[in-house]
């Protein structure tokens, strides 16, 4: 009985190793995950009448995909604020960039909430990469200083 148990154990371990090697060869042929984009929001509060840099979009893998467009408009009360985008380039990559989104806060917006504009994907910052829609942030909002 011990002889059969040891043979079954050997056969099981050999088949497990072979199955694992087959899975690894298939896994290496599959393309990797989509490139990652990160979103960094400031913890500072915007001041009425001034420009406020609220969100920075970071391209975590610029070798794989470049940022083509960022949707980052905002809203204070019923007023839509067009997002101003400033690109920051990393030295070895000339096509890839991190983008800072900013807005000019109206002077009469004291005490109101600045929130991201509601696109079809929600009140978020949206990134369009080289292959189309790539990522969206979580919802951010800030209370304008009085």
What is the residue extent of each domain of the chain? 1-30, 37-143
N-term to C-term CA, the chain: 84
What pLDDT is stored for residue 35 in this prediction? 56
Say what the pLDDT of residue 95 is.
58
Find all residues with CB under 8 Å of 69, minimum gap 6, and list them.
127, 128
pLDDT band at 140 (very low <50, low <70, confident <90, very high): very high
- Percentage of the chain exceeding pLDDT 90: 46
- Buried b / exposed e over 51-71, threshold 16 CB at 10 Å, is ebebbbbbbeebebbebeebb
| Lowest mean pLDDT, pick from 1-10, 85-94, 105-114, 133-142 | 1-10
Could you tell me the pTM of the whole model?
Answer: 0.68
pLDDT one-digit tens code per residue, 39-75 = 999 999 999 999 999 999 988 877 777 788 899 999 9
Report the DSSP pairing between strands 122-123 and 118-119.
antiparallel
Name the strands in the sheet holding 126-129, side by side, starting at the edge strand that comes first in the sequence. 67-71, 126-129, 132-136
Could you report the per-residue pLDDT of 93-125, keeping only the tens digit for each? 565 578 999 999 999 999 999 999 999 888 999
Whole-number pLDDT of residue 31: 41
Mean pLDDT, to the nearest integer, of 9-26?
41
- Structure-derived torsion over alpha carbons of residues 102, 107, 111, 113, reported in degrees to the nearest 10: -30
Supply the pLDDT for residue 92. Answer: 64
């Amino acid at each position: 009985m011990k002889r059969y148990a040891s043979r079954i154990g050997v056969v099981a371990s050999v088949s497990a190793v072979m199955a694992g090697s087959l899975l690894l060869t298939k896994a290496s042929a599959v393309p990797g995950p989509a490139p990652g984009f990160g979103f960094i929001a400031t913890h500072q509060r915007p001041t009425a009448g001034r420009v406020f840099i609220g969100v920075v979009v970071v391209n975590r893998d610029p070798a794989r995909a470049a940022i083509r467009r960022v949707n980052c408009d905002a809203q204070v009360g019923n007023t839509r604020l067009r997002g101003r985008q400033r690109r920051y380039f990393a030295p070895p990559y000339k096509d890839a960039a991190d983008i800072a989104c900013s807005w000019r806060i109206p002077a009469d917006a004291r005490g109101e909430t600045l929130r991201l504009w509601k696109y079809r994907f929600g009140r978020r910052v949206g990134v369009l990469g080289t292959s189309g829609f790539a990522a969206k942030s979580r919802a951010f909002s800030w209370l304008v200083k009085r």
